[in-house]
Structures are given as C-alpha cells and as structure tokens.
Structure 1
C-alpha cells in the first residue's frame, strides 16, 4: 500500500555513477562493494544499502546509510537521501520485480493528483539467509519525491 510522508535526510556514504538500465544489476552491487570497503577500512557503523536515482538518464548514487562519522575516501563521498514530501511503498520479492512497486507509486500519484518531483530511491533490507531459499521475503522500500 502506497503511503505519503515528509522525510528527513539520511546521511550516506555513496559512489556516483551514470548507467543504463541494463547495467544496474552489475553497477549497484559493484558500487555497494566499494562503499562497504571504505566503511570497513574506517570501522564506521552503517545501516542499509541505498540507491538514489536522480534523473531519467539514470544518474545515480549507490551507498550505505551512515550511523557514525565517515571521511570521504576516493570515489566514496558523503551524500544523503532526498528530503521533503515523498510517496513510498514496501516491496517484498526479488529485485527483478521492483518495477511493480515503482508502477504502484506512479499510479497512486496519478490517482491522488500528486506529481513526482525529482529523484526516486530504493532502500534495501539487510540480507537474510532465508532470502536465498525464498526470494519472496526480500524487502525493498521504494520512494518517490513529490512536489510540495
């Protein structure tokens, strides 16, 4: 069920990329690996993995929520999730089926007379071993920034 809320920023350590849709299944995990290596090197407490899609050309930031101080390292920079009004939904299932969650938010926006206004992003649940056997349990929260 799609919901709306006013969101606060979540600080991130992230890598910036431009990618084609067909490259995302490679680019997102690759970038997460770079970020996790930097976080481990600094022994930073961290949260969930995040991908922020800034525009339709798939200019993105892939990162990890920061739960402690972090110094930028190489390609890994400080960033944050978008703030303000957003529509969101929780998707359970394989990443390849995330399109349904995005479509649900777009349909909700149309029905509510609300307009997406900028980026959308995904926050991925912490991997659970049970997900290997049952991918229907995989949790991803999908967000779309809305106009005021």
Structure 2
C-alpha cells in the first residue's frame, strides 16, 4: 500500500497564491507547470517567498472536468496579479495521510484514504488538496516521492 499514517487532524486555514482553472485529467500536468511558473513570477514581483511546498487544491472530487487551484502557501494574503489569485486552504478537521511513490498511483491512495475516512464513521466534504513534499524532476526515483493528502471532513 502506498498510503501511510492516516489520521484526523485540525488544519488551520492557510493563505495561498494560486492559479485557478477548470481542468481535465489529461491537462493536469500542463496546468500545474503553467500555474507554478505564473505564481513564482507573481510572488517575485511582490517580494513574497512561498511559505511551503507546491500544492494542488481540488475544489470538488475530480471527475471528467474539475475546478483546481495550483500554487504555493504564503505567510499572508497576496495581491491578485493577473491569473494569480489570493486564495486559502480551508481550516477545520481533515483526514491527512502521506502517499509514497509516483503520481500514477496517487488515485489509489486517495481511494484508500476515503475508505479509511468511512471506516472512522466520518464523511468527506469533497474538497481535498495535495502538498508535493518531494519536488519531482526527471532524475527523481518515483519510489522516493512523498505527497501529503488532505481531505476536508464535514461536521
């Protein structure tokens, strides 16, 4: 199993700088590349450093097309800058776990986390995000990649 250490934690709301888009599954990689570049440039213009690793925030459970934000956490809200928007990861109770391995098996880890949430008698809100702890590169061994998974819970 590629899912490690599922737990329910309280997550504090976190300011982010993101690009938001309606994306199909086959467009995710290109969207991320474009969004991260735009956000880094906007943060540079504003003299703001990212406050953590790159993230992807799914505003609903992914289907054929879905709303997605890609960017970085910031210490405080930024000024909107073209396609780059000030946004926020929500606060509240979340199911959190770590996905170990490449992105091709990420869906399996999400499925396992959602099943685990049900086994805890909890319900997911539908909003979820990934934090890319290990920055991928062409030389990276996929087995060494780590992605934190967060699934917002209701009630």
**TM-score surpassing 0.5?**
yes
1:11 aligns with 2:18: no
Q: Give every structure 1 segment of 4 or more consecutive aligned residues whose post-TM-superposition deviation is greater than 3 Å.
A: none
Aligned-pair CA distance for 1:95:
1.7
SS of the residue 1:48 aligns to: coil
Which runs of no fewer than 5 residues in structure 2 stay unpaired? none
Aligned-pair CA distance for 1:113:
1.4
SS of the residue 1:70 aligns to: coil
Q: Distance in 1 between matches of 2:60 and 2:136?
A: 30
- Tell me if the contact between 2:77 and 2:87 (Cα under 8 Å) persists in the aligned partners: no
The equivalent of 1:49 in structure 2 is: 54
Query: Map of 1:46-125 to 2, 5 A cutoff?
Result: 46=50, 47-56=52-61, 57-67=65-75, 70-125=78-133
1:142 aligns with 2:149: yes
RMSD: 1.8
- Tell me if the contact between 1:45 and 1:68 (Cα under 8 Å) persists in the aligned partners: no
SS of the residue 1:98 aligns to: helix
Q: Distance in 2 between matches of 1:121 and 1:12?
A: 12
Go from structure 1 to structure 2 and tell me whether the alpha carbon gap of 1:81 and 1:68 turns closer, same or farther (over 3 Å shift): closer
Q: Which of 6, 15, 22 lines up with 1:2 in the alignment?
A: 6
TM-score after normalising by structure 2 = 0.86
Aligned positions, number:
147
TM-score after normalising by structure 1 = 0.90
Q: Distance in 2 between matches of 1:107 and 1:68?
A: 34
- 1:49-68 Cα deviation digits (max 9, x unpaired): 11110114411111111135
- Tell me if the contact between 2:130 and 2:150 (Cα under 8 Å) persists in the aligned partners: yes
SS of the residue 1:2 aligns to: strand
Go from structure 1 to structure 2 and tell me whether the alpha carbon gap of 1:105 and 1:112 turns closer, same or farther (over 3 Å shift): same
Aligned-pair CA distance for 1:5:
0.7
- Tell me if the contact between 2:35 and 2:70 (Cα under 8 Å) persists in the aligned partners: yes
